[in-house]
Amino acid sequence: MKYVLFIATDPAGEPADENPQAWAEKWNGRGVRLEGMPLKPVEETSTVRVRGSDILVTDGPFAETAEWIAGYDLLEAADLDEAIEVAASHPMATAGRIEVRPVAPIDHGPGTDNVPHEGDAPASRFLALMRTDPAAPPYTPDPAEVAAWVRDGLASGRYLGGEHLSPVEDATLVRRRGGELLIADGAYADVPEWVTGIVFVDGDREQALEYVGRCPMARSGLVELREFWQDLG
């Protein structure tokens, strides 16, 4: 089963001397970690909402929180216990906090498959975090409309794949404090705008904003556009 790890900051984190690259190589070698990348600082975020006929773009994250997503990893684990084991061994389980979320497979129909990519070289420039928004007017995206958006993105090179996630009630929070492993139900931050999925978006920032501004999910929620670190050397 696939799981996404959201690697998040935490002001209450403790110093960690472990090497994140060594962690990645260990789980890559076992065939558990499929891919992952750090994200640029949250201050460089753009947030997109579609309300009626208006596309609203603001600089900065969706909310001012002390905990923000600094990167992601995608796992193929036997079960939740193995995913927690992998998360618990990450240096950011000590220095920050890690949310473990199951991937919920979704099929948008013919011609909507993900573009294959794996490893630690970003296949796209941006990661779009799809979030709920309790303040948004009621709107249920038409599956055919979503499929058309995906196919259009594949044709234009804007869309390079994504993952739909299980509800936040299925999230598990993993931390290490004082050498003790702490496991709790819940997301990386206690906010009502929880992540429903991730999408890999390529192009320059204006092209990426234009594409996510046409995302049907942006009508019922919001999209947080985050740029990948492009140089890990």
Q: Where do the structural domains in the chain lie, given as residue ranges? A: 2-227
pLDDT in the model for residue 233: 42
Averaged over 143-153, what is the pLDDT? 94
pTM of the model: 0.94
Which of 50-64, 108-122, 173-187, 189-203 bottoms out in mean pLDDT, i.e. has the lowest?
108-122
pLDDT at residue 59 greater than cutoff 90: yes
Q: Which fold has domain 2-227?
A: Alpha-Beta Plaits (3.30.70)
Residues 6+ apart with CB under 8 A from 31: 76
Averaged over 96-119, what is the pLDDT? 86
pLDDT in the model for residue 162: 93
Which of 17-21, 75-79, 171-175, 210-214 bottoms out in mean pLDDT, i.e. has the lowest?
17-21
Cα separation, 192 vs 58, in Å, equals: 19
- 3-state class (DSSP) for residue 64: coil
Average pLDDT over the chain, rounded to an integer:
93
Residue 57 CB neighbour total at 10 angstroms: 14
Q: How confident is the model at residue 13 (pLDDT cuts 50, 70, 90)?
A: very high
Averaged over 178-195, what is the pLDDT? 96
